[in-house]
Chain A
Amino acid sequence: MEVEQSFSDICGGRLALQRRYYSPSCREFCVSCPRLSLRSLTAVTCTVWLAAYGLFTLCENSMILSAAIFITLLGLLGYLHFVKIDQETLLIIDSLGIQMTSSYASGKESTTFIEMGKVKDLVINEAIYMISAIWFIFLQQKVIYYLCILLKDPVEPHGISQVVPVFQSAKPRLDCLIEVYRSCQEILAHQKATSASP
């Protein structure tokens, strides 16, 4: 069963949440981030090339122009491969674990799998987020919500060893997070009930 809904992230961009229910014990949530906008790409390229042309008129060295083209290409490739995340997926499988996948714009995928034995709980946490407006002079603070997985501490039974945030690049708003949270808690509750019984 596949359901798609659209939400917005903390900055106001559009996000799409796709929910797939494979079985009562396996669910997948996929958040797609806004794509790379052509406008910002054109703006950055024009700025870099204008600056390079300005330097060229000063120095009369054509190496600057070729270097600018090279840097723009490398920068774009690096950005697409290492920075720009297209989609973030959360796959939760009852009694196996939770898997988080980030797919980058160049097609690279980076996956982390956490076993169910290490998961203590899945919660929505609050955080204070700094948004800089106007040249880093006026820093605005905002309270945002994020979904995170709490990991058990092997030494102390009731302690928490690590907090792993989910959907870090997409940063969806609370309404989206609540949907994901409710779904996941159904599975986690079932998992806890069956693991408690002998």
Chain B
Amino acid sequence: MVLKAFFPTCCASADSGLLVGRWVPEQSSAVVLAVVHFPFIPIQVKELLAQVQQASRVGVAVLGTWCHRRQESEESLGHFLEGLSAIFSHEPWLQLCRERGSKFWSFKATHRQVPASPGAPGQDQVMLIFYDQRKVLLSQLHPPAALPDHQAGDATASAGGLAAVFDTVARSEVLFRSDQFDEGPVRLSHWQSEGVEASILVELAKQASGPICLLLACLLSLISAASTSRVFKLWPLSFIWSKLSTCEQLRHRLGQLTLIFSTQKAENPAQLMRKANMLVSVFLDVALGLALLSWLHGKDRIGQLADALVPVADHVAEELQHLLQWLMGAPAGLKMNRALDQVLGRFFLYHIHLWINIIALLTFHIYCFYVYGARLYCMKICGLSSLWRLFRGKKWNVLRQRVDSCSYDLDQLFIGTLLFTILVFLLPTTALYYLVFTLLRLLVVTVQGLIHLLVDLVNSLPLYSLGLRLCRPYRLAAGVKFRVLEHEAGRPLRLLMQINPLPYSRVVHTYRLPSCGCHPKHSWGSLCRKLFFGELIYPWRQRGDKQD
């Protein structure tokens, strides 16, 4: 297999020294984590590596030598470096070399145990892959590769070779703790942070976050204990609580806040993202609410809205009156049964007259009309179906819940036929009223549904993850991509490994928060069935309601 060396880009201009990292034999690849510079004492280097190995459970070892020739006359350095392989033995021993100012590197890997055979790895069989240490350290692969067995000192490589590289760099964070201003016995070169956070405010915030979280957690637990007390379980309070969507939303947010301020630390990155997403969602909710409130209060807009509501209610009532007049005439050229038409029309008109003064209930009369129309239609359909069965000599057996044959007397048949004829000829009139009011009701239900959807969207959209994908795309990685760097024959192949960020659709799919779930109860088929038979439709049900 081709021998691959993963080399951090930050060490490309470092001085000569030893290469420190991890060797993965299954992939035949070496992950270089840092460079140890001269002068050093071998015992101290070994001690440092043992410490790092114990703290991070990654098999860190000296892999080889790194030579960055500044001048032509540093030949002695080469011999010195070769002597080091006797002190730090590693199989295979890597020798990376670079001329100052040159783009081309040389890379040799020597195996001591295997004797030099004709097929020994030459320049063709080695590959240099550069990677950005900071980005690989902070990034997170999706889907997370299930790495086995963190107990073992040197975890065996996972199924994905690249996941092993990411995992090695992430777990060796303890090696990167020393920053550029630290003075230690061993001088290392790797990705270094700028030092402890320079801003005092950030440090104070970090220190204060612990006690604040504790306080808020206690407060929230008190509130949730109070809300589940016996007082609220009495009817009608419990009924109101379950019906109002405000209360449902409040309950949802309370649950989310309890999770955010719980004193347990997030166990894995997915939980951390979830907490962050919830926090941002709560902030957005509060911010939108405050913005709406301030907009309404400015320039007495509430008064203006209330003033506008009265003529709108009047307008709706007027339109309904016109609609009923139209139905009482000859709607769409259909001939209605005059007497029944008048009765139904006058009945509904009377209701409008009753309600024209009630401003607050804009669409309540539509709902009532729908219920009346639906009930009438339903009764009609029931009667028709029963009499139709009479014609065929069958009967509905309530005990067995099926249709059975039955022999009727002559007078039963006669009355049945009469009633059937009457109902059939009155059907178009009732059906038309039912159709019109059902359409109006469906319109109102659609508007309600859209509002529910909007609330759901605000609740479940993972804004923090989307922001992270926008501003720091290397944190959420779908994979890697390679670019071949300038190549010269006879030199080893050089590749640049970059992080391929996760597409936005997958970010939303992976990190979406669980919404409070007001989904339509019916499928399209059952909805059509209910409409045809005149059964009442209540499409929106909260989760946890009893089925009726």
Contact = CB atoms under 8 A, between A and B. Distances in A.
B410 to A, nearest CB: 62
A94 interface: yes
B479 A117 contact: no
B487 interface: yes
B162 interface: yes
Given A93-B482, A96-B4, A96-B482, A25 B127 contact: yes
Contacts of A86: none
Contacts of B481: 99, 101, 111, 113
A40 B495 CA distance: 40
A154 interface: yes
A94 B2 contact: yes
A112 interface: yes
A117 B487 CA distance: 26
A111 B498 CA distance: 11
A26 B1 contact: no
A70 interface: no
A117 B495 contact: no
A111 B503 CA distance: 11
B164 to A, nearest CB: 11
Contacts of B129: 96
B372 to A, nearest CB: 43
Contacts of A95: 1-2, 4, 27-28
Contacts of B125: 25
Interface in A168-194: 191, 194
A186 to B, nearest CB: 14
Given A115-B161, A117-B159, A117-B160, A25 B479 contact: no
Nearest to A197: B1
B288 interface: no
Contacts of B2: 25, 94-96, 194
B196 interface: no
B237 interface: no
B262 interface: no
A113 B493 contact: no
Contact of A91 (B4, B28, B484): B484
B334 to A, nearest CB: 34
A157 interface: no
Nearest to A190: B2
A22 B124 contact: no
A37 B127 CA distance: 42
Interface residues of A, number: 23
Contacts of B85: none
A88 interface: no
B493 A22 contact: yes
Contact of A96 (B124, B127, B159, B500): B127
Interface in B468-520: 479-482, 484, 487, 493, 495, 500
Given A28-B484, A111-B481, A117-B161, A23 B4 contact: no
Contacts of A115: 160-162
A55 B161 CA distance: 61
Interface in A94-124: 94-96, 99, 101, 111-113, 115-117
Nearest to A1: B489
A195 interface: yes
A124 B238 CA distance: 66
Contacts of A195: 1
Contacts of B495: 93, 96
A195 B27 CA distance: 9
A24 interface: yes
Contacts of B1: 95, 191, 194-195
Contacts of B482: 91, 93, 96, 99, 113
Nearest to B495: A93
Contacts of B161: 96, 115-117
**B2, B4, B129, B159: residue with the most chain A Cβ atoms closer than 10 Å:** B2
A154 B487 contact: no
A23 B491 CA distance: 9
Interface in A52-100: 91, 93-96, 99
Nearest to A116: B161
A194 B125 CA distance: 11
Given A23-B487, A28-B484, A91-B484, A111 B500 contact: yes
B124 A113 contact: no
A112 B480 CA distance: 8
A22 B485 CA distance: 10
Interface in B1-32: 1-2, 4, 27-28
B331 to A, nearest CB: 31
A23 B493 contact: yes
B484 A25 contact: no
A113 B160 CA distance: 12
Interface string A137-180: 00000000000000000100000000000000000000000000
B493 A25 contact: yes
A65 B500 CA distance: 42
Contacts of B28: 95
Interface in B225-263: none
Contacts of A93: 127, 482, 495
A1 B159 CA distance: 34
A91 B493 CA distance: 14
A64 to B, nearest CB: 28
A26 B481 CA distance: 14
B501 to A, nearest CB: 10
Q: Which 10 pairs from chain A and chain B are nearest by CB?
A: A111-B481, A95-B2, A23-B493, A95-B1, A194-B1, A22-B487, A113-B479, A94-B2, A25-B2, A24-B124
Interface of B: 1-2, 4, 27-28, 124-125, 127, 129, 159-162, 479-482, 484, 487, 493, 495, 500
Given A22-B487, A96-B161, 11 more contacts: A22-B484, A23-B124, A23-B487, A91-B484, A99-B481, A101-B481, A113-B482, A115-B160, A115-B161, A194-B1, A194-B2
14 contacts: A22-B487, A23-B124, A25-B124, A25-B493, A91-B482, A91-B484, A95-B2, A95-B27, A95-B28, A96-B127, A113-B480, A115-B161, A154-B159, A195-B1
Interface of A: 22-26, 28, 91, 93-96, 99, 101, 111-113, 115-117, 154, 191, 194-195
